[in-house]
Amino acid sequence: VTPRLLVVGTGLIGTSIGLAVHGEYDVQLTDAETSRVREAAGRGAGRPWDGASVDLAVVAVPPGRTAATLMEHAGVARYLTHVASCQSAVAADLETADTTRICGGHPLAGREVSGPAGASAELFYGRPWAVCRLPGTSDEARDAVHALAVACGAQPLHLSPGDHDRAVALSSHLPQLAASALAAQLLASEAASVGISGPGLQDTTRVAASSPELWTEILAGNAAHVAPLVADLAGDLGRLADALAVLAHDPADAAARTSVEALLRRGNDGRARVPVKRGVLDRDVAVVRVRIPDRPGSLAELLAAAGGAGVNVEDLRVEHLPGRRTGVAELLVQTGQTAALSAALGGAGFEVLGGADPR
Amino acid sequence: VTPRLLVVGTGLIGTSIGLAVHGEYDVQLTDAETSRVREAAGRGAGRPWDGASVDLAVVAVPPGRTAATLMEHAGVARYLTHVASCQSAVAADLETADTTRICGGHPLAGREVSGPAGASAELFYGRPWAVCRLPGTSDEARDAVHALAVACGAQPLHLSPGDHDRAVALSSHLPQLAASALAAQLLASEAASVGISGPGLQDTTRVAASSPELWTEILAGNAAHVAPLVADLAGDLGRLADALAVLAHDPADAAARTSVEALLRRGNDGRARVPVKRGVLDRDVAVVRVRIPDRPGSLAELLAAAGGAGVNVEDLRVEHLPGRRTGVAELLVQTGQTAALSAALGGAGFEVLGGADPR
């Protein structure tokens, strides 16, 4: 028999869950705003809730309303979970409740857009999905959340609410604030100076487009873990500013140079820890760059040649350049496959540029 | 008659210049390390310098050695330029020299790799190339640098050394330091917590892989402009840490929430100023997401369908997902073309996901 899933809150995450599992689950949808239920249902995420009991309810509302929304639906669902970015705050809000049938969850996926229109069945594919048992959570409730994560294509990771919150403070909340604070600095300048920029500015500020309302709630819920990290980052940057102020007067000052270079080196080491995908570190992948004629069909030929050689292209970027007849494609592949790919593309008449550089 | 160009310093930038213009210029190469000249020549960037005079010399050595290297070659080149990320420091180093035949330059291009192996003829395509006249620079010297930038496919931008240095402090040097300081924070944690991350961490830390030696020189040369920006960023983050410390004790504190949300809003506004490509702002492009079967040839069919509809795909990303039969492709197009693209792809049998979301 098909299990019944109730999605409470049909924003980006809730709607994406419905899109991902409909077919495996009988998905019903509810939201404080009826128009959002209609929009999510119209996209194929499920049908409006008929009010009957379900096997699992997933509460996908902003963190501050998560615990209350869980309690409101405790009578209509056998098991309940949520998707909040902070687990301990939700657990604290539930303190006096019976949590036997409740298990925390958090898909490490998201976009800098919100609402059902941005939802996607593939949002969770290959991403970690934290499954965070509360002290009272039963094995059955935990298994129900694990199964939902698997049905979404995610990789369930079991960890405590505290361990989860410490981890995301560093890997998600701190980067958000660094990007926002950096982007905020751009307001101090004339727009023209931002035009004189390379690709680095684009990457480092992308997530600064995220929703301020949602992120204020996320950060308020995990402030105890985030605050000391932000203070550490501010301290490092403050010391860096001091060293640069010394270099402004004497560019050769050895102590100041050593201080700046040491931070850049620590940045190298930290960056080497960042997975390109889960389990794949930077050093395991390489980029093959190829010149492509800027006309319809040439990129298709390129990929056909790669496929013919049996090479799995992990990622591909192409840049069409203004006023030029050619462009450049960058294919990201496992390090061991660069030679085979280069040979195959060369054999198909493409000009391979540069070869294999770590990205 | 083909103009003679001498590239002094065959690293990433020098070798890329040679690759970009050979044919339009008779390119000769020199470097303090002979092996690097061999490597650059082997990649097709030009031939080893025969010692004769040239029309233009481009000095592509680290910023601290730029002025001295320009002076060393003043006798063998009619005009001279360089590619240093800081223009005022080079100008100051040249103070007593005759600068009639010298004009500063700086291509806003680069990669987080260095050396001739990472070089590419396309590195400068569509990128800004600052042309920075010194007080004594002749029109002819300036025109020679302008022509070199155009030959590389770049967009020459004429501005003063001071305006240049202020602009790149904000749009290039500050993002580098923010990314490095953020990545450095990752060292404080167990590697496991970095694995619990979404795509944001990947983007925000990418440039942290850049060379510490080169960047220390760049920053030392522009420290007067960079130091106050880093201090401002540190100050914003320090105030943010204070607000978060308040929220750690009282997640509902209104003043602290307002403070956090205000910074996130400023980040939204700053991000909206960042060009995706030069002249194309975020709001002008949209993403169409398509489900693709994970087999050789499917992406080729997808692009053939887009090409058949006459849609210019600005950028394309594809993700193949572990253990899944399908993947997702994201096509970046001009906002006005999303409907036509979606229709064409749907007509070709592809499932279009989500529609047009701002990226």
Query: Which chain B residues in 9-48 lie under 8 Å from chain A, judged by CB atoms?
Result: none
Q: Greater confidence, A82 or A282?
A: A82
Contact list in A for residue B230 (CB cut-off 8 A) is: 237, 240-241, 244
Q: What is the pLDDT of residues A173-228, one digit of tens each?
A: 999 999 999 999 999 777 666 677 777 888 899 899 988 998 999 999 999 999 99
Find the mean pLDDT for residues B283-305.
Answer: 71
Q: Average pLDDT in the B51-62 region?
A: 96
Lowest mean pLDDT of A67-81, A262-276, B176-190, B289-303, name the range. Answer: B289-303
Rg (Cα) of chain A, in Å, rounded?
24
For an interface test with B, give the residue of A182, A226, A229 to mutate (most B CBs within 10 A): A182
Residues of A in contact with B264 (CB under 8 A): 180, 210, 212, 215-216
- Indicate the residue of A206, A220, A268 with minimum beta-carbon distance to B257: A220
Predicted confidence at residue B355, as pLDDT, reads 43
CA distance B166 to B159: 11
Q: What's the distance, CA B25 to chain centroid?
A: 25
- Average pLDDT of chain B? 87
- Which run of H or E residues covers position B267? helix B254-271
Q: From residue B187, give the alpha-carbon distance in Å to each of A178, A268, B169, B346.
A: 16, 10, 26, 46
b/e per residue A119-156 (b: at least 16 CB within 10 A): bbbbbbbbbbbbbbbbeebeeebbebbbbbbebbbbbb
Query: Is pLDDT of A332 > 80?
Result: no
pLDDT of A99 strictly over 70? yes
Going by the DSSP 8-state scheme, the letter that residue A5 receives in this structure is: E
Judged against a pLDDT cut of 70, whether residue A325 lies above it is answered with no
Tokens of B272: 């909206």
* Interval B286-294 mean pLDDT: 74
Q: How do residues A3-41 score in pLDDT, each as one tens digit?
A: 999 999 999 999 999 999 988 999 999 999 999 999 999
Q: Does B200 sit within 8 Å of A176, measured CB to CB?
A: yes
Contact between residue A78 and residue A52 where contact means Cβ atoms under 8 Å apart:
no
Interface contact B78, partner A, CB < 8 A: no
Q: Which of A88, A171, A334 to mutate to test the interface with B (most CBs of B within 10 A)?
A: A171
Higher pLDDT, A127 or B193: A127
Give which of B172, B211, B188 is closest to A270, Cα–Cα: B188
Measured between beta carbons, the chain B residues lying within 8 angstroms of A118 are: 354, 357
Q: Which chain B residues have a beta carbon less than 8 Å from that of A248?
A: 223-224, 227
Q: Is the entire prediction scored with pTM above 0.90?
A: no
As for the ipTM of the complex, it is 0.78
Q: Tell me: the pLDDT tens digits for A135-183?
A: 999 999 999 999 999 999 888 999 999 999 999 999 999 999 999 999 9
- Amino acid, res. B184: A
Between CA B116 and CA A355 the distance in angstroms is 11
* Nearest residue, CB atoms, B317 vs list A246, A304, A317: A317
Do the strands B326-334 and B47-48 form a parallel or antiparallel pair, or are they unpaired?
unpaired
Q: Which two tokens stand for residue A75?
A: 């009578």
pLDDT grade for A301, boundaries at 50, 70 and 90? confident
Average pLDDT score over residue span B194-202: 77
Count of CA atoms in the C-beta half-sphere (13 A) of A7: 29
Average pLDDT score over chain A? 87
Nearest CA in chain A to B252: A220
| % of chain A with per-residue pLDDT over 70 | 87
Interface residue B280 vs chain A (CB under 8 A): no
Tokens of A276: 């390109």
| HSE toward the beta carbon, residue A65, CA cutoff 13 A | 12
pLDDT at B304: 75
The residue type of B335 is T
Chain B interface, mutation test: which of A111, A123, A129, A170, most B Cβ atoms within 10 Å? A170
Nearest-by-CA chain B residue for A309 = B296
The C-alpha atoms of residue B150 and residue A192 are separated, in whole angstroms, by 20
Report d(CA B89, CA B217) in Å as an integer.
11
Model confidence band, residue A356 (pLDDT cutoffs 50, 70, 90): very low
| Angstrom distance (rounded) from CA A168 to CA A108 | 9
Whether A350 and A291 have beta carbons less than 8 Å apart is answered as: yes
Give residue B291's pLDDT.
77
In this complex, which of A153, A223, A232 lies closest to B251 when CB atoms are compared? A223
Q: Is A267 on the interface with B (CB under 8 A)?
A: yes
Q: Do A166 and B193 touch (CB under 8 A)?
A: yes
Residue of A nearest to B218 (CA): A251
Does A355 or A141 have the greater pLDDT score?
Answer: A141
**Residue B357: what pLDDT?**
36
User: pLDDT by residue (tens digit) across B207-244?
Assistant: 999 889 989 999 999 999 999 999 999 999 999 999 99
The residue of B196, B281, B318 whose CB has the most chain A CBs within 10 angstroms, and thus the best one to mutate to test that interface, is B196
In this predicted structure, the answer to whether residue B184 has a pLDDT above a threshold of 90 is: yes
Chain A contact for B299 (CB, 8 A cutoff) = yes
Q: Looking at the complex, does the CB of residue B179 fall below 8 Å from at least one CB of chain A?
A: yes
Disruptive mutation site among B114, B168, B237 for chain A (greatest number of A CBs within 10 Å)? B237
What pLDDT shows up at residue B341? 86
**Selection from A216, A125, A201 nearest residue B243 by Cα:** A216
Grade residue B322 by pLDDT with cuts at 50, 70 and 90.
very low
| Residues A267, B193: C-beta atoms closer than 8 Å | no
Note the pLDDT of residue A314: 67
Residue, of B314 and A270, whose pLDDT is higher: A270
Which of residues 202 through 261 in chain B touch A, CB cutoff 8 A? 202-210, 212-213, 215-216, 219-221, 223-224, 226-238, 240-241, 244-248, 251-252, 256-257, 260-261
Q: Which residues pair with A80 in a beta bridge?
A: A57, A102
| pLDDT at position B318 | 63
Tell me the pLDDT tens digit for each residue of A282-299: 556 677 878 776 555 677
pLDDT value, residue A329: 77
Q: Across residues A111-115, what is the average pLDDT?
A: 69
Within 13 Å, how many C-alpha atoms sit on residue A75's CB side?
3
pLDDT of residue B356: 37
Backbone angles phi, psi at A252, to 5 degrees: -100, -5
Give the residue on A whose Cα is nearest the Cα of B45.
A354
Give the C-alpha separation, B142 to B120, whole Å: 25
